Amino acid sequence: MRILLVASAFNSLTQRIQADLSDRGHTPALALATEDEVVRAAVRRYAPELIVAPMLRTALPEDVWSAHTCLIVHPGPPGDRGPSSLDWAIHTGAERWAVTVLQADAEMDAGDIWATVPFEVPAVGKSDLYRGEAGDAAVAAVALAVERFASGRHKPQPQHGPEVEAVCRPYFRQEARRIDWSADSSETVLRKLRGADSQPGVLDELLGAQWYLHGGHPEDELRGIPGAIVATRAGAICRATRDGAVWIPELRRRRTPGGPVTFKRPAVDALAGCLPPVPEVPAPLELPGHRRTWTDIGYREDGEVGRLRFSFPGGAMSTAHCRRLLAAYRFALSRPTSVLVLGGARDFFSNGIHLNVIEAAADPAEESWANINAMDDLVEAVLRTTDRLVVAALGGNAAAGGVMLALAADEVWCRAGAVLNPHYRLMGLYGSEYWTYTLPRRVGGDRAERLMREAAPVSAAAAVALGLADRLVTASPEGFPDEAARMAEQMAGYRALARRIADKGAVRVRDEAAKPLAAYRHEELNRMHRTFFRADDPYHALRRAFVRKEAGGADRAGPVAT
């Protein structure tokens, strides 16, 4: 079927739905709903049989929805109305929620129901939920709705019957997010932080200034005066509550009227110069099972399997993140395991170098250079591992250098809902992370060149078909870590494993003789150096716009209907 996707941004959900509809044999095209006229023109040109809106911040023009069947993806259960559904789900402590596909109508979210798919709500941030459980439900609900529409026999269910109770929930304002540090329990504080993560954050007063707090994780041991910063860890701050404490990884300064646009940064960096003298309290790499605290890198070992888990906000890896992860990787290599699983956490695997940290640096060119070198050091360590099998386990999406980090492993396992963006074009970069070695090795030279040039998202299923990934893991976002661990244990039990490890060492020796890794790195970094240190290179403007979420940033339009 010819399906036109109309979306406010080519975001992860839109990418997933587009990929899923293609995988099901439909021909989806995309129109960005920047203006009504753009949508009308796309409809005229593409002449779709059906219009689907996976993520829309504005209403569709009436002349479009009255002439075509338009299905709107709403992240709420039947009857739920309003623009902040997931915020309300988290705020009200809902254990189950749903995604409903509605027909566009004169009243927002009040159209007939084509499909609804429920999902569990774990204690995670809103964006993580959106990309995880809600994303899975949305893909399933759209598939069902499209199938029903295609059958020509399905009658959508009106919302004005006795079975559907309409609940209008208003836009979730900062007043409702406000934290009362002296009165709110840790659980309440965490719920408020999760409901605002990753955007818009919770507006709060901190050290005499207005900040948005981004991310929130429990802490079981540290205590202090409610609201006070009591410790730091890996760039995050720990603030006491009335009955415990919470970790907050990132902060964004409130923009002053007429002042420059502000953006998120690791909390400790953002507060540099005004942070009180509090201890840095590192978490042990191998955290005891009973601890309830935050750490972005952790290691676990079960028999022959080592698991190096990492999770950075937005999948962005700064110089410091890369160096800490490399140190942890080296520790993992010192352990007597035969299979090492890299990743395995839910949500983003990695989105490459940390553009916000780079943008905030006194010298962004120098910081870009330090970051890409730190990333390359990490990737090189993975590529040079010849005494065990390394598996990259992607519970969620990966992009740019983050995909290449995964490709350095011997096997890439992707959760079925993951979307890969194996290219650097959106940031105007040639790229590094040894991609010129690993990408052609996996998909061949021509396809590698096409992936880079077309800069299109690739679904996990398509990644396996292309050879970018090896195994598709059908698991929920919560179930993925255990499923990946189970698969790794199975792999460690294969009789042929020792032989495979020996072969891998031989291949590395052969490849090194043909062209040393140092040569790949040198060639890639030469191009990157020119980009970083040329002040008028488009990378700087693209990065600036991306970090500040300004139009004119990365070309995210994807394949627009023509």
Given the rule CB under 6 A, which residues bind ligand COA?
Answer: 11-12, 127, 198-199, 264, 314-316, 351-356, 397, 399-401, 421, 424, 426-427, 429, 554
Integer CA distances (angstroms), 190 to 162, 224, 313, 358, in order:
36, 17, 16, 29
- Full DSSP string of 242-307: SSSEEEE-EEEEPPPTTS-----EEHHHHTTTT--S--B-PPPSS--TT-----SEEEEEETTEEE
Q: Write down the least CB distance from residue 414 to ligand COA, Å.
A: 15
Q: Write down the least CB distance from residue 427 to ligand COA, Å.
A: 4
Q: Write down the least CB distance from residue 401 to ligand COA, Å.
A: 3
Residue with smaller CB distance to ligand COA, 19 or 353: 353
Q: Could you tell me the end-to-end alpha-carbon distance of the chain, in angstroms, rounded to an integer?
A: 16
Question: Where does residue 450 rank: exposed (0-12), middle (13-18), buried (19+ CB within 10 A)?
Answer: middle
Residue with smaller CB distance to ligand COA, 356 or 459: 356
- Full DSSP string of 478-503: TTHHHHHHHHHHHHHT-TTHHHHHHH
Residue with smaller CB distance to ligand COA, 191 or 264: 264
- For residue 182, what are its two tokens? 């002296």
Residue with smaller CB distance to ligand COA, 14 or 85: 14
Q: Which residues contact 187 (CB under 8 A, 6 or more apart)?
A: none
Q: Are 40 and 479 in contact (CB under 8 A)?
A: no
Q: Write down the least CB distance from residue 425 to ligand COA, Å.
A: 9
Is 342 in a helix, a strand, or coil? strand
Q: Write down the least CB distance from residue 242 to ligand COA, Å.
A: 28
Residue with smaller CB distance to ligand COA, 12 or 186: 12
The CB-nearest residue to ligand COA is: 352
Question: Torsions phi, psi of 504, nearest 5?
Answer: -60, -40
Q: Write down the least CB distance from residue 127 to ligand COA, Å.
A: 5
Does residue 440 have a cis peptide bond before it, meaning omega lies within 30 degrees of 0? no
Q: Write down the least CB distance from residue 255 to ligand COA, Å.
A: 15
Residue with smaller CB distance to ligand COA, 241 or 371: 371
Q: Write down the least CB distance from residue 428 to ligand COA, Å.
A: 9
Angle between helices 435-443 and 445-454 (to 10 degrees): 110
Residue with smaller CB distance to ligand COA, 21 or 487: 21
- For residue 60, what are its two tokens? 């569709």
Residue with smaller CB distance to ligand COA, 199 or 526: 199
Please report the beta strands in 351-466, taking only residues with DSSP state E, as ranges in sequence order. 389-394, 398-399, 411-415, 419-421, 458-459
Residue with smaller CB distance to ligand COA, 109 or 433: 433
Q: Which residues contact 449 (CB under 8 A, 6 or more apart)?
A: none
Residue with smaller CB distance to ligand COA, 159 or 421: 421
Q: Which residues contact 499 (CB under 8 A, 6 or more apart)?
A: none
Q: Write down the least CB distance from residue 275 to ligand COA, Å.
A: 22
Beta bridge partners of 515: none
Residue with smaller CB distance to ligand COA, 424 or 437: 424
Half-sphere exposure of 207 (CA within 13 A, CB side): 19
Q: Are 42 and 31 in contact (CB under 8 A)?
A: yes
Residue with smaller CB distance to ligand COA, 105 or 380: 380
- For residue 493, what are its two tokens? 């039990």
Q: Write down the least CB distance from residue 162 to ligand COA, Å.
A: 39
Residue with smaller CB distance to ligand COA, 58 or 199: 199
Measured distance CA(111)–CA(101) in Å, rounded: 9
Element containing residue 449 per DSSP (H, E): helix 445-454
Q: Write down the least CB distance from residue 214 to ligand COA, Å.
A: 7
- For residue 185, what are its two tokens? 């329990």
Q: Write down the least CB distance from residue 274 to ligand COA, Å.
A: 23
In 72-85, which positions are buried (b, 16+ CB within 10 angstroms) versus exposed (e)?
Answer: bbbbbbbbbbbebb
Q: Write down the least CB distance from residue 375 to ligand COA, Å.
A: 7
